[in-house]
Amino acid sequence: MHTKTKVRVGLFGVGLEAYWEQFEGLKDRLSGYLEIVAKGLQSLDAEIINLGLVDSPEMAFESGSRFKAEDVDILFLYVSTYALSATVLPVVKKANVPVIVLNLSPDASMDYKTFNRMKDRTKMTGEWLANCSACAVPEIANVFTRANIPFFQITGILHDDPSVSQEIEEWVEAARVARIMYYNRLGIMGNYYGGMMDIYTDLTLQCATFGGHMEVLEIDELSHLRESVTAGETSVKLGEIQGLFDVQSDCSPAELERAAITAVALDKLIEKHKLGSLAYYHKGTGNEANENTAASVILGNSILTGKNIPVAGEYEIKNVQAMKIMDSFGAGGSFTEYYAMDYTDDVVLMGHDGPCHPEIAEGKIKVKPLEVYHGKVGNGLSVEMSVKHGAVTLLSVVESGDGKLKLLVAEGESVAGDILEIGNTNSRYKFDIGARKFVESWNSHGPAHHCAVGKGSIASKIKKLGQILKIDTIQVC
């Protein structure tokens, strides 16, 4: 399931069949415009199902059935000229996926003087029809609204319009992430951290909203897998750890070996259950093998997170969903929470213990031994990193009092400066609305105290994902 991530994009144009005999060359010209759109889509990581110009109700019904059979994730409707809404509604209603209306003029403006010098008024009308893509959009919008079909618009120029290209690319990427989430297998291992009520969530609601499958796991299985790890496998994993991390001199060989064995066992667990993400927590008391396992997972889980299999501690299911979204957008997605406020520099310090995301680290990640895992049982190795300096996006999956999910997002900047060198992820974040207002605005929407942080400014992409999933997205900055 987790490999079915290639987004399938449906594309069709619309025109009026009656025009083709009246205006020579018009159909070919409009079909050429559609091919320009198709070529742009083909440059993206997607499978394109292009059904050409739909110009009659009969063809509309056939096209709708074809898109449904092709299992498209999203539709792009290119409005090339005036067309009847009856050639659109059957297609979109049958396909039943998000539809993006492309209102794209062939050029920034018509050459009015040349046009008005034309002697043949029939040819003039044909030329006008080749440039009136905006004409049918209100009719289509009216029918979609009355049919309770959500639709989205991209308005601009067919050729060389960066805004149009960016919007199309973001919609395709958002559809791809929605597909990844739909097929994702999320492992949940252990139990909630007792009393941490904000992270409790409705598992059925998660699947109803994002799709996917939740595989309920026991830490006993991971402990058992540790027993099957060979010396050769451990040696290979130790080499991977030494290459990926800056292992500090006070990390004992015994702790490194313990972490390596658990990392191999985690790889086997992931492969056995075909997991695309994992949320875990185990108090680890009363069973020596399980306590040993739970206290040695941080390095292995960090390695997995860097390989597009995000892992969240404290059984934080909502946050591992946020991490998976961020990672699927190529932004990373590291587990984080407020650490402290710095009013002098107007920044918020944020971080977390447990796994980090190696692909978004500023420099090489340090591995340090901790004599105690604060608030948890056991001790062992931990990772210390800051998120790469530059633009960042925060994302929280919020479960509200009305039994729905929403996305909460903020854009900011990871900045250089002093951090708390305590063996955890820790970064300094600056927001254009200021630290005080950011914290108050973010908190006002009732998120859990965890969120996911990723590199880049991707709020616009997350908003499109929310529209595809039909859930509210709130951006605080």
By percentage, how much of the chain surpasses pLDDT 90?
80
The answer to whether the beta carbons of residues 294 and 378 sit under 8 Å apart is yes
Sheet holding 365-370, edge to edge: 245-247, 365-370, 380-384
Q: Rounded distance, CA 477 to CA 472, Å?
A: 16
Which residue would you say has higher pLDDT here, 117 or 423?
A: 117
> What mean pLDDT comes out for the span 389-412?
97
> What mean pLDDT comes out for the span 335-354?
91
Which residue's entry shows tokens 């031994």? Answer: 369
In the chain, CATH 3.40.275.10 sits at 184-475
Q: What is the dihedral of CA 141, 147, 152, 157, to 10 degrees?
A: -30
pLDDT at 287: 85
Using the predicted structure, report yes or no on whether residue 145 has a pLDDT greater than 70. yes
Residue 288's pLDDT band (boundaries 50, 70, 90)? Answer: confident
pTM: 0.95
What SS3 state is found at 352?
A: strand
394 is written with which tokens?
């925060």
Q: For the domain with range 184-475, which CATH number is right: 3.40.1710.10, 3.40.275.10, 3.30.1280.10, 3.20.20.80?
A: 3.40.275.10
176 is written with which tokens?
């791809």
- Span 290-299, pLDDT tens digits: 888 988 999 9
Using the predicted structure, report yes or no on whether residue 208 has a pLDDT greater than 60. yes
Q: Rounded distance, CA 101 to CA 142, Å?
A: 13
pLDDT at 3: 47
Residue 147 to residues 78, 79, 170, 172, 339, Cα–Cα distance (Å): 20, 19, 26, 24, 48
CA angle, corner 303, sides to 297 and 307, nearest 5?
135
Look at residues 454, 465, 461, 447 and name the one whose alpha carbon lies nearest to residue 413: 454
Cα dihedral 229, 235, 238, 243 sign: negative
Average pLDDT of the residues of the chain: 93
In what helix (H) or strand (E) does residue 242 lie, and over which residues does it extend? helix 231-244
124 is written with which tokens?
């003039």
Using the predicted structure, report yes or no on whether residue 19 has a pLDDT greater than 90. yes
Helices and strands in the chain, H and E counts: 17, 19
Cβ burial 195-224 (10 Å sphere, 16+ → b, else e): ebeebebeeeebeebbbbbbeebebebbbe
pLDDT at 235: 97
244 is written with which tokens?
């990926």
pLDDT at 2: 42
Using the predicted structure, report yes or no on whether residue 364 has a pLDDT greater than 80. yes
- Span 420-455, pLDDT tens digits: 887 778 899 999 999 999 999 999 999 999 999 999
**Domain 7-181 fold:** Rossmann fold (3.40.50)
The answer to whether the beta carbons of residues 60 and 94 sit under 8 Å apart is no
In the chain, CATH 3.40.50.10940 sits at 7-181
